[in-house]
Structures are given as structure tokens and as C-alpha cells.
Amino acid sequence: MLIYLLAFAGGVLTILSPCILPVLPFVFARADQPFRRSGLPLLVGMALTFSAVAVAAAFGGHWVVRLNQGGRYLAMLIFLVLGISLLFPSIAEKLTRPLVRAGGKLQRGPSSEGGIGKSFALGVSTGLLWAPCAGPILGLILTGAAIQGPGARSSFLLLSFALGAATSLGIALFAGNKVFLALKRSLSFEVWIRRGLGVAVIMGVVAIGLGWDTNLLTKFSFVNTAKAEEHLIDRLRPNKPASVLAANLSGNPADAHPSLDDEGPMPDLSGAVAWLNSPPLSSKSLRGKVVLVDFWTYSCINCLRALPYVEGWAQKYKDAGLVVIGVHTPEFAFEKERSNVEKAVRDLKITYPVAIDSDYKIWQAFNNEYWPAHYFIDGKGRIRYHHFGEGEYGESEVVIQELLKENGAQISSSTAMSAARVAGTGAEAAPDNANVRSPETYVGYHRAEHFASTNPIAQDSTHAYTPQPRLSLNQWALSGSWRVGAESAVLQTAPGKIIFRFHARDLHLVLGTTKDSKPVHFRVKLDGTPPGDDHGGDTDSNGSGTVQDHRLYQLIRQKGPVEDRTFEIEFLDPGVQAFAFTFG
């Protein structure tokens, strides 16, 4: 129940988001009408249409996106006519006749029996045009919907979000109606209000048509709703005792005191499309063993930094009866290809069994939502503990020790007091969390934020981009000819650049090449010069490197003080795919 309340709260917060501004004129254009027969049906139509489109887009792929784009164009035409009829009703009727008459009927009062239906139709049009800012809550819902597939849970979460937004708009519309009625007593006020609403509606259509609703307007936000959403997510997660937080910092098993509960039976592992380093395993065949299930994906920086600990536990406790299973569940499409996963397992020197979960069957069986996620199963096949994300390695090792003891294994005091040996290098090394002030940032338009080229993202089409002269912290921009898709941006002609203003010790970028492309060479710069000693594991001191495989590339690791820096990567060959930035 809490997750639905969280989704609803995220929707309510959209009233403070700049991305709601282009839609407000369409809602307030009917502020002079009775709320129950006009505003309420409009908001219901808006919420239902947004929910339906979002669910279909998450489940149906690009054809739904293109169909919705056609609906958006039709909706913009309807509202353009509505705006003209509000601004110049007599002239508009003479110029466009039946079209304007239809628009005029939609914006007049609900005196006829069809008033509610007309308001609902306007709400449907508004729902097609509304593209809310992808804050943490909506991003979490959409990601979960795309991964877990069609289902009532994802659909109701999206509906909860939309109803939250409709509720806050409804309150604002109800208040606006009272103000409008007070001003309407003067005929001159009514004329100017109609004209003002007409101008606002037309400006809203122009803003959406130019993409300002999801790009330019986000730069003028006076309220940081993302911070509020992150706070809500943290508050609704189960509270953890101080000893857990201390264990997270120390990583020492002796300092951790976890609580082991019965969280239900271990789901079956039959959904894997293939197994590496082992024949297929099942919950039945693992009975009598202590099992650690690690959900990971090979381009995820958080997963990579946890791998040395998981491998260390597998080696340290295998003779005591521990079985570690890595469940590779993809985030990006290229991670679904078996050959890519096999190469990653070899390159990362993973020795324990890995289930390739490209169809998300095991992910769904565990009802999982995170990378990385660790599930600890006792010898009776019961899940006794779980941990999401990085950190708290000392606590996790204590859980392993306790479950092994329950299963009859002998754990010496020296073993119990010492942590598994971990030697993470390159991208697997521990992050410098105290200096990370830049968030994971996606390049594909589905989850892109803080984009700062001079023109907005042109979805699924080739476009020439120009970066702004100066970027603020955590803004990024494209330069050159790129085709931006839902997951990634592909360079069409060389050269092309990506610029990012960041604050962190390490900068990583998930990159790959198109199927018919050769290796892509690139050059990296920091504040306009080669990185020198601050180069990453995949670049040299001159900033040179090559993209050959789909994976995470470590491009910057600063050796000195960490401060705001401008990162620039120039690709010298076409065909590169850029997916996401991560920091450490």
C-alpha cells in the first residue's frame, strides 16, 4: 500500500514542477465552468489517458510512442483552435468555420447534456500532451513497469501517479474558479480574462510543440521536487538501526548484528535462458545449502563495485557450504545478448554460477526491483535476509556466517572476526562517496534529465546539436549529428561530442557500437585539456581510447582534489552508442 501512496505523492508534487506549466492553460481555460461538470471530467480524462499511454509505452515499444505522437499533434491542433476561439472568437469562426465552431463548443459552458463528455474529451487531449518531468518516483515506476512487464501493479502505480497530479490540479482549479467568478462580475474583466486564457493556451501549444515542456522549462524550476521525492522514498523505506549504518561504514563483520527473519520460500530458477560456470540449478537441488543470490547487470557501476565482495564470499565460504549464484538481469537491450554476458563474465573473472535472466523471469519471481540485490537463503530453502544496493558488506558477511552455522558448518572465531579479502580495481574499486555530487544520468530520452544543448532532444530522428556555451553543474549536452532513441544516442557522422559538467572523483560512461560499426576512437578532455594523471582505466594520459564492446568505460579517475569539472569526449568515428553516465 505504501508504494501506491508514494506514487500518488509523486503525482501531487508535479504541481510544483516546471513541466506542468504548458498544461496549466488547458486546465484553467475552463475555470469559469462548474467544477463538477467541467473541471472534474477534464482531470479524470487527463489522468486516465496519461496512465493508458504510459502503460502502453512501457509494454508496447516504439510503435506505441509513434501512435501517441500522432495523437499529440491532433491534441495540439484542438487546443490551438480553442486558444484562437478564446482570443478572437468572431474572426476565428470566419476563418476556419466548422473547426473553430467545434473548438468553441468544447470551451463553452456545459449547459447541454454533452458538457461532461466534452470536458472529458478535452481531458483526453490534455493527457496526450502532458509529459511530466521524470523525477525519482516516476522514473522508478516506469523502469519497474518496463522490466516487470504488463501487470495490474504497474498499471495502478501509474494511475496513482496521474491521480495525484489531477488532485493537485483540481485543488488549484477549484481555487481559480472562485477567483474567476469574483472577477467575472465585471464585463471588462471577463473579456480580458478570456483573452489572457487564449494567449496562455496558444503559448502552451507552442511550448509543447517546441519541446520546452521537457527541456527548457526544467531550467527555471524554483522548487527542487526531485529532492522532495527522494526524501519521500527514503522515509517510506524500512528504517534501519544505527548498528547497520555503522557496519556500512566499517565493513567489519564483528561490528554488525543483523536480524534474520523468514521472508518466504526461495523462488525457482527455471526462468533462466542459459547458465554459465554451472549446469542449471534449481531451488530443489540447492536444498541443504546456504545460497546467496546476487542480481546484477554488467554495465551497472553499483553492481561492478559489489562484485569483489561477492566473489570474495564465494571463495572464502565455498567449503563451508555456501553457493553463490549471480542472476544477470539486463537493464539495456545489448545486455540481453548471451555473447555479451559470456564475455563480461570472463573479463570480470567471475567463477561462481551465473543464470542469464534475459526474460526477467527470475527477477519477477523474486519480485525484485534493484541492481544489485542480494538475497540470502538458508539450508531449508527459506529467504532469511536481503540487501539492496552497495555497502553494508560487514553485515552481509555476518548473515552468511550465521546461516552457515545454522546449517551445521563450523566457523572459527578468526574467520568470523575477519572480512573476506577484497581487491577491487578500476571501476570495481570503492567509490569516493563524500565527493560524489553528480547523479546517474541517462542519455536516451526515456529517462534523460538536465539536457542542455541549445535545442531540445529530437526523439528517434537525426538532428544536429549545439551545446550551450556554459553548463551548470550536472548539465550535459550533445554536439554534432546524433540520433537519440529511448535508451541511447547514436552518432551519425563524425566528429561528435558529449559534454558534462560534473563533480566526482570517477566518471564512467556506458558505451557501445552499432552492429555494422567498426571500433570507434575517442579523445577525452578535462576543462579543455588532456586528463593527464586523472585519466581513467579505459583512457591514457592524452585522453585517447577506443570503444569496441558494449560495456561501462571508466574515463576519469582524479588523483587530486575533487571539484566541479567540465568533461568532454569527442568521438572520431561514427556509430558509437552512448547510454548512461555514472560517478564514483
Rounded CA separation 82/71 (Å): 16
- Are 294 and 328 a contacting pair, CB within 8 Å? no
- Are 503 and 552 a contacting pair, CB within 8 Å? no
Written as one letter, the residue type at 562 is V
Rounded CA separation 76/81 (Å): 9
Specify the higher pLDDT residue, 143 or 442.
Answer: 442
Q: What's the angle, vertex CA 179, arms to CA 178 and CA 185, rounded to 5?
A: 95
As annotated, the residues of the chain forming the CATH 3.40.30.10 domain(s) are 247-428
Residue 505: helix, strand or coil by DSSP? coil
* Residue for grid cell 495525484: 164
- State the pLDDT at residue 374: 96
- State the pLDDT at residue 248: 40
Q: What's the angle, vertex CA 323, arms to CA 317 and CA 325, rounded to 5?
A: 125
Which secondary structure element, helix H or strand E, spans residue 143, and what is its range?
Answer: helix 136-148
Adjacent-strand bridge partners of 322: 290
Stretch 241-259: mean pLDDT, rounded? 48
Residue 90 sits at φ, ψ, to 5 deg, of -70, -45
Angle between helices 62-87 and 115-129 (to 10 degrees): 120
Specify the higher pLDDT residue, 224 or 249.
Answer: 224
Of the candidates 290, 317, 276, 302, the one whose C-alpha atom is nearest the C-alpha of residue 373 is 302
Rounded CA separation 281/294 (Å): 14
Adjacent-strand bridge partners of 292: 324, 376
Stretch 170-184: mean pLDDT, rounded? 63
- Are 521 and 531 a contacting pair, CB within 8 Å? no
- State the pLDDT at residue 246: 32
- State the pLDDT at residue 510: 96
Signed CA dihedral, 149, 151, 156, 159: sign only: positive
* Residue for grid cell 518516483: 137
433-583 maps to CATH 3.20.20.100: no
* Residue for grid cell 508534487: 13
- State the pLDDT at residue 22: 59
As annotated, the residues of the chain forming the CATH 2.60.120.260 domain(s) are 433-583
Q: Which residues contact 576 (CB under 8 A, 6 or more apart)?
A: 490, 491, 496, 511, 512, 513, 517, 520, 522, 547
**pLDDT at 73 > cutoff 70:** no
Stretch 16-39: mean pLDDT, rounded? 66
Which percentage of the chain shows pLDDT scores above 90?
A: 46
Residue 3 sits at φ, ψ, to 5 deg, of -65, -30
Q: Which residues contact 192 (CB under 8 A, 6 or more apart)?
A: none
**Per-residue pLDDT band at 437 (split at 50, 70, 90):** very high
Average pLDDT for the chain = 78
Q: What's the angle, vertex CA 104, arms to CA 102 and CA 110, rounded to 5?
A: 100
- State the pLDDT at residue 253: 58
- State the pLDDT at residue 8: 81
- State the pLDDT at residue 102: 47
Rounded CA separation 200/440 (Å): 35
Stretch 356-370: mean pLDDT, rounded? 93
**pLDDT at 223 > cutoff 70:** no
Output the CA–CA distances (angstroms, integers) from residue 92 to 32, 101, 209, 423, in the order listed.
21, 9, 21, 73
pLDDT in tens, 485-539: 999 999 999 999 999 999 999 999 999 999 777 899 999 999 999 999 999 999 9
247-428 maps to CATH 3.40.30.10: yes
- State the pLDDT at residue 106: 44
Rounded CA separation 514/318 (Å): 40
Output the CA–CA distances (angstroms, integers) from residue 405 to 254, 289, 400, in the order listed.
15, 12, 9
Which secondary structure element, helix H or strand E, spans residue 387, and what is its range?
Answer: strand 383-388
Rounded CA separation 347/369 (Å): 26
- State the pLDDT at residue 37: 77
From the DSSP assignment, how many helices (H) and strands (E) are in the chain? 17, 16
Q: In whole angstroms, what separates CA 333 from the centre of its chain?
A: 15
Of the candidates 64, 41, 61, 43, the one whose C-alpha atom is nearest the C-alpha of residue 53 is 64
pLDDT in tens, 78-136: 556 656 655 665 654 554 455 444 444 444 444 444 467 777 877 776 666 565 544 55
- Are 577 and 489 a contacting pair, CB within 8 Å? yes
Rounded CA separation 320/313 (Å): 11
pLDDT in tens, 141-159: 655 655 555 567 667 777 7
Adjacent-strand bridge partners of 508: 554, 582
Residue 515: helix, strand or coil by DSSP? coil
pTM: 0.61
- Are 373 and 295 a contacting pair, CB within 8 Å? yes
What CA dihedral angle connects 113, 116, 117 and 120, to 10 degrees? 170
Mean pLDDT highest for which of 4-8, 142-146, 310-314? 310-314
Angle between helices 2-12 and 152-183 (to 10 degrees): 40
- State the pLDDT at residue 54: 66
